[in-house]
Amino acid sequence: MSSSIKRKRSYNFSFSDKELLLKIALSRKAVLENKTSNAVTWKDKEKCWENIAIEFNRQTGGSPRDGNSLKIKYENIKKSMRCPKSALFVTSGGPALSIHEPSSEYEAELFRTIQVSVEGVPCGLDS
């Protein structure tokens, strides 16, 4: 039997919190965006998120956040960047959705980092 522990809800991320998270995470993107999947890289990523949480909590005055909540927020930001592109294929000719416009320089840098997964690989063989 697994005991389900409900996590405590924290306050919402402000714009400055999101910017700080992106600034810290993008300085470590070589580790976080590494596509290799083995025990060593997973441990490196866990340690990296712990360090990000320490640095994030040192620079913010709000309630402290753990590495897992920061990781979830970072992944949700990336997911929101991918949504408009995937929604274009779902609408079946419905109203066009606007492509995600980065709201800051850090969000623009994250977009450039994950651009291939957002826009796809261009095919040079289209007729």
| DSSP characters over 26-94 | HTTHHHHT----SHHHHHHHHHHHHHHHHHHHHH--SS---HHHHHHHHHHHHHHHHHHHHHHHHSTT-
| CA–CA distance, 66 with 56 (Å, rounded to integer) | 9
Residue 125 DSSP code: T
Q: What is the pLDDT of residue 63?
A: 82
Which pTM value belongs to this model? 0.72
**Contacts of 45 by beta carbon, 8 Å cutoff, 6+ apart:** 31, 32, 34
Structure tokens at 5: 């522990």
Q: Please tell me the predicted confidence (pLDDT) of residue 67.
A: 93
Cα torsion 11, 14, 16, 19: sign: positive
| pLDDT 10s digits, 92-114 | 666 656 656 667 777 877 777 77
CB 49 within 8 A of CB 33: no
* Percent of the chain topping pLDDT 90: 40
Residue 31 corresponds to which tokens in the numbers above? 């580790």
